[in-house]
Amino acid sequence: MGRFIFKRTLLSIIILFFVMFIVYFLIHSLPTSYIETVARQLATRPGNMKSVEQWMADLNATYGLSDNVFTGYFVWLGKAFKGDFGDSWYYSIPVVEEFKKVIWNSFYLGIAALLIEVLVAIPLGVISARKQYSLTDYSVTVTALIGISLPTFFVATLLKLVFSIKLNWFDISGMVSRNYISMTDTQQFFDKAWHFVLPIITLTVVGIGGLMRYTRTNMLEVLNSDYIRTARAKGLSERKVINRHAFRNTLIPIVTILGGSLPGLFAGALITETLFAIEGIGFASYHAMVAGDIPFTMFYLSFMSILTLLGNFISDILYAVVDPRVRIN
Amino acid sequence: MKMNLYDQKNLKEEVLTDVVPVNNAPEIDEEPPKEIPQRALDDARRIKVLSPSRLVAKRFFRNKLAMAGLVILIAMFLLCFVGGWVGRYGQKEVFYKYDNIMFSFGTANERTTYEGYYVIDASEINNLERNKLNSYISEMRSKQQDTRNYTDSEGNAYTLTKLDENLYEYRFHKIQKTATYDNKIEIGQYHENINGEESELILDGPYSSLITDNTFKNLVKANIPGRFVYEGNTYIILKSNKIPTIYIAGDDGKLIGEDQSDGFKTVVKNNLSANGFTYEGKDFIIEFIASNGIYQISRDYGNRLAAYLSTYVFDMQEAGFLVDTEFKTSAFGAVYGSGTFEWKGKTYRIMKNEKDIIVIQDISNAEPVDFANFSTFVVRRYNGEDTLSISFKDQLQEKVKDMIANGETLSQFTFYMQQIDGEGNLIFNEEGEPVFDTSVFVVERKLDNFVLTNLQNKYLINIFDKPSSEHWMGTDGSGMDVFTRLMYGGRISLIIGFVVVFLEVILGVILGGIAGYFGKWVDQLIMRIVDIFYCVPTLPILIILGAFFDSVRMDSYMRIMYMMIVLGILGWPGVARMVRGQILSLREQEFMIATEAAGLKASRRIFKHLIPNVMPQLIVIATMGLGGVILTESTLSFLGLGAKYPLATWGAMINSVSSSSAMVNYTYIWIPVGLMICLTVIAFNFVGDGLRDAFDPKMKR
């Protein structure tokens, strides 16, 4: 097992090296004229203390953009390894500071949505598999497929129309109410939570289908396996068969998948956060990217790559943990 | 599981699994002949062989969800590809309409500045002086003066005379310098002792007798500088430097100026001591300038009437009739003059009517006809033209008076007038008679201006039109037909989907196939590349590219091309993984050992034997992938980073109405478009799901 983890880690590092290279290569390929134009535009933003020339110099120092792609990559990698991603042009503060400011909002959003998804999707998936071809099964399957098919922006816009505009229950966007500052701590907490409701619903609606289908498929597989037949044959009650034998075994692949999605909690939801103006990493990087903030963009791309890689890594390890056969290969 | 062997449905299913191996095996027909209800399982008459593809098709068509998806997809394709082609309108066609809107009709204000109506050529008076006239008049009004005389730096004299509150007469006395005359001859100097005790004259020879002449000396002393006559001669003293110089006026001098003829010179010579003279009917002023001892000759144009300054405007009885400045100045002249004037062969009379308004009447004919009114209330159409009737102006003036008295800023009145169409032309009916109707005018006070608006029929871009028979889903913010754009947008979305999936599949099959077939280090290498591409975040990269394309203003079609390429390049790893996995397992099967034994080439074995067996999964993954690509594309377009206006795509259409006000008011635009996206993606997913089940009946169980 230790050997397996070691091998996987090594492999992940190599992959990361190349992924980062692709990311770096992309940014490096942007024409200098574009970067300069953007730097000039952003240099006029309030709160900015540096001149365009300084910015470009900083950029070249941190990112080696003036060097060729390979030497530049190592310059950047060296800095990035030490956690130095330079100053964000759009936010006028170091990239890492902006990141620290927003990351927790993304995390809260992600974990809430994930919890709801798990709590709703797994039971529904199990029920659907148990009553295969029943009305329940059909509605669950169809709902799951519809959920997967819905564009996030459409769900978000519809929710806004119904709950924010027609019913006036929520603010149309934003993370806090106008009188947030004058509230007590508890009130502040609930105010923020209230503003998170619609984004969480959006994320849940869009994300729940996948997990539901996954649960259902795995449950079906388990229910068709020999040991379930054996359990039934030896006269166990249906409840015991399902809860003791089938469900536990279904949990194995699900836990694997869920473990793999844990790093994704920090990835933020780019579209949802942007549409609801939740100041998370997705929101922050969307605005930075659209404005052409190179330092922040570089950081975000690397961060996303690392998260994906980490997710795969965790998934693999968990899979190896529950299924010893994987370790051999 | 309970099983009734005589139940046809269960019977069939049981037979399927038991008899039919997964690959290329015959299938038992579903419906046994009716006349033989009960038959042994191995009865040859029951068995009808179905080809594998027909088997798949049959299973697929039996799946209601998949069929629903297929129907939706076919409808969608017809709508997008045929619909756009058959449709009445073009993708970028902008619609216009005639509509009644509150539109600016005209303005009105009480004239308080005085306008100059020039009798002489206005350019004779310099601009600076002309521009000061209004301030002079206001000064006169505040000092309650009736006349004001003043001169400018060039010696021209002006007179402003008040005729009444609204009418001033402006006279101009023009003096123009035309020539100088110099006839002095130097004869000596006058030395003044600083202490004043002794002074002496130094004169040239012929005049030396005058040196001792004390009378002359005193005259010199008294005229520094100056001019005096002594013993018939004229002497001129100039104080150049510190020592005064003595000149004598010679018989002949130098004339510099416009007219240098001898006749003019003679007249000048004869009138040197006079103030002025007349030469060839022109008046001249002659003036001795002591400081340089020469004569300045100026033309005197005399005191002339230059202009009338007035706040009056002429309200013509015949609306829109134009009169020239001559008419206006003659009319002003007549007000405090003879009372009548002539213009273009007609005679006009000025009089005050019963309302105390000054009226100009045409008295050329026996019956006097009202021709124009004097007024200080200016009413103009919005384009500055004076085409409104007097009765309209009167009614408006009364309204404005009321408004001022009541302190209102907004009011309205009705007026019965000839109607105007969208282009501003008067409307006539079929018989050529003008069409009259009552119009409501809204008067709004804006400081001293009164702005008139009324409901006018205008030719407008038909924006955000409600759904109608002409525009089934209304029109968008640019006046384009939403339904048409929906069809065209769908076309682009679907094409993007297909191209991207095609790219993904090509790349995925080649790389996945190679990896799976060759295994070992090739597999390792390709799968690591897959891992690498799997980690590259697609959406952020597309967003950065979108922002970059925005900045370089890239063409809309080029953007789409790049977007497709990027999506394809970043999307293939999933396909490659699947293909590799399938090939890995297929490779171990007997039929592959058979191909090897038969000595087939590697390429033939891959493309003829392995790939066809991956096809089912490939079709499923491609179908599901189509939905995913359409989602990504619409999301990007929604963010404004994909296809750009005026090119229609579904996402971009929603984006155009995504502000919160548009969201509420124009639900008939974005909800159908959003539903189209959902329906298409759902349909692709249904069909993909159905295909998966049809291809692989094991999964279903």
Instruction: Supply the mean pLDDT for chain A.
Output: 85
d(Cα B282, Cα B682) in Å, to the nearest integer?
101
Same domain, B450 and B542: no
SS3 content of chain B, % helix, strand, coil (to 5): 45, 25, 30
d(CA B416, CA A261): 75
Q: Give A-chain residues touching B13 at CB under 8 angstroms.
A: none
Chain A residues close to B65, C-beta within 8 Å: 138, 141-142, 145
- The answer to whether residue B678 neighbours chain A at the CB level (below 8 Å) is yes
Highest mean pLDDT among A104-118, B127-141, B329-343: A104-118
Asked if B581 and B493 sit in the same domain, the reply is yes
Does residue A279 have a pLDDT over 70?
yes
In the predicted structure, residue B54 carries a pLDDT above the cut 80: yes
Same domain, A179 and A74: no
**Searching chain A, which residue's CA lies closest to the CA of residue B681?**
A149
Last residue of a domain, one of B257, B291, B311: B311
**Three-state DSSP state, B91:** coil
In a domain, B29, yes or no: no
Tell whether B685 lies on the interface with A, counting CB pairs under 8 A.
yes
CB nearest to A30's CB, from B528, B548, B663: B548
Closest chain A residue to B540 measured between Cα atoms? A301
Cα gap B386→B313, rounded to integer Å? 10
State residue B196's pLDDT score. Answer: 58
Of B540, B671, B685, the CB nearest to A301: B540
Residue B64 lies in a domain: no
Cβ–Cβ under 8 Å, residues B436 and B472? no
Shared-domain flag, residues B517 and B446 = no
Which residue of A145, A309, A312 is in closest CB contact with B686? A145
- pLDDT mean over A99-122: 90
Q: Are residues A66 and A208 in the same domain?
A: no
Q: Is B63 on the interface with A (CB under 8 A)?
A: no
Average pLDDT over residues B336-347: 83
- Closest by alpha carbon to A271, among B82, B538, B648? B538
B461, B489, B519 - which closes a domain: B461
Find the residue in A nearest to B700 (Cα): A220
Inspect the interface and report whether the beta carbons of B686 and A38 lie closer than 8 Å: no
Both B164 and B290 in one domain: the answer is: yes
**In a domain? residue B363:** no
With a CB-CB cutoff of 8 Å, which residues 538-577 of chain B face chain A?
A: 539-541, 543-544, 546-548, 551-552
- Domain of A272 in residue numbering reads as 103-285+298-322
A149 contacts in chain B (CB < 8 Å): 627, 631, 678, 681-682, 684-685
Query: Given an 8 Å threshold on Cβ–Cβ distance, is B631 in contact with A149?
Result: yes
- Rg (chain B; Cα; Å): 52
Q: What are phi and psi of B358, to 5 degrees?
A: -75, 125
Instruction: Say yes or no: A115 and A158 in one domain.
Output: yes
Whether A280 shows a pLDDT value over 50: the answer reads yes
Indicate the pLDDT class of residue B323, thresholds 50, 70 and 90. Answer: confident
CB-based contacts of B392-399 (< 8 A; 24+ apart in sequence): B392/B417, B393/B108, B393/B315, B396/B108, B396/B441, B396/B443, B396/B450, B396/B452, B397/B108, B399/B443
Which of A145, A172, A304 has the CB atom closest to B537's CB atom? Answer: A304
Note whether A172 and A249 are same-domain residues. yes
Q: How many CB pairs under 8 A join A and B?
A: 125
CB–CB contact B532 A285 (8 Å): no
Share of chain B above pLDDT 90, in %: 3
Sign of the dihedral defined by the CA atoms of residues B565, B567, B573, B578, in that order? negative
Mean pLDDT of chain B: 80
- Is residue B428 one of the residues assigned to a domain? yes
Each residue of B174-226: pLDDT tens digit? 888 888 888 888 888 887 765 656 677 777 777 777 777 778 877 877 777 78
Selection from B482, B500, B508, B410 nearest residue B648 by Cα: B482
Residue A100, amino acid: K
Q: pLDDT digit string (tens) for B386-408?
A: 777 777 888 888 888 888 888 88
- Number of folded domains that form chain A: 2
- Whether residues B654 and A157 touch (CB distance < 8 A) is answered with yes
Task: Select from A141, A217, A305 the Cβ nearest to the Cβ of B537.
Answer: A305
Q: Could you read off the pLDDT of A7-56 as tens digits, one per residue?
A: 888 988 998 899 888 888 888 888 877 877 877 777 777 766 777 777 77
What is the reported pLDDT for B15?
Answer: 43
In a shared domain, residues A163 and A48: no
Same domain flag for B477 and B456: no
pLDDT of amino acid B697: 61
Q: At what angle do helices A135-149 and A185-223 cross, to 10 degrees?
A: 120
Q: Do A15 and B544 touch (CB under 8 A)?
A: no
d(CA B506, CA B518): 18
Tell me, what's the pLDDT at B18?
A: 45
Residue A88 is assigned to a structural domain of this protein: no
- B601 versus A65: which is more confidently predicted? B601
Closest chain A C-alpha to B568 CA, distance in angstroms: 16
Same domain (yes/no): A74, A122: no
- Residue B699 with chain A: CB contacts under 8 Å: 217
User: In which domain, by residue range, is B205 found?
Assistant: 112-311
Residue among B154, B120, B173 at smallest CA distance from B303? B173
